[in-house]
Amino acid sequence: MGSKKNKAKDFFPPMPEWDWDADAQKEKWEDFKSIMDKLWKQYTDMQKAARKAWKEQWTVFFGQLMDMEQTVADALPDEKVSVPGMPAAPVSPKEAVEKVKEFQEKANAQAVEQADNMFDRRMQRQEQVKEIVTDAVATVETNLDAAQAAVEEKAEEKAEEKATTKAKAK
């Protein structure tokens, strides 16, 4: 049939400025990986800063909400009130607001703890994904290095074979 030579390789000859050198490509790859590591660290730092800012903002907001409710509680009467013809309420309006505030503070503590746990789990999952990707990249690099070594070994064997064939021909 025809030649087994891959003609596509000859169609676009590599230009010297394209850096087809394997060492240059590995250096660029190492640079890329270090940049990605730096971006990963910046991203996680950004998430931690956002978490801290959210917590600070929420603490201020919740404190202000409790102060507002205390202002309302202070304006309410201390006496138990009742509707004519009905028994007296079990607690005064002021006591009711204090119970509601107590419940809200407990609920807030649980919600903040749950948000912290969710953030921590998300960060752990992201770290696991990073480790998986890093391991996959290392495996690919190892396989590529092994393939490159095999190609170079075959090239050396062919060169030796040609040399022995030429020697025999002489």
Q: Can you give the pLDDT of all 170 residues of the chain as single tens digits?
A: 455 655 555 555 555 566 666 677 778 888 888 999 999 999 999 999 999 999 999 999 999 999 998 998 888 888 877 767 767 677 788 888 889 999 999 999 999 999 999 999 999 999 999 999 889 888 888 887 888 788 888 888 888 888 888 777 76
Distances (CA, A) of 56 to 21, 49, 52, 61, 66: 53, 11, 6, 9, 15
Q: Is the pTM of this model over 0.85?
A: no
Give the C-alpha separation, 39 to 54, whole Å. 22
Question: Which pairs from 111-114 meet CB under 8 Å and 24+ separation?
Answer: 112/55, 112/58
> 119 and 49 in contact (C-beta within 8 Å)?
no
Burial class of residue 126 (count of CB atoms within 10 Å of its CB; 0-12, 13-18, 19+): middle
d(CA 108, CA 105): 5
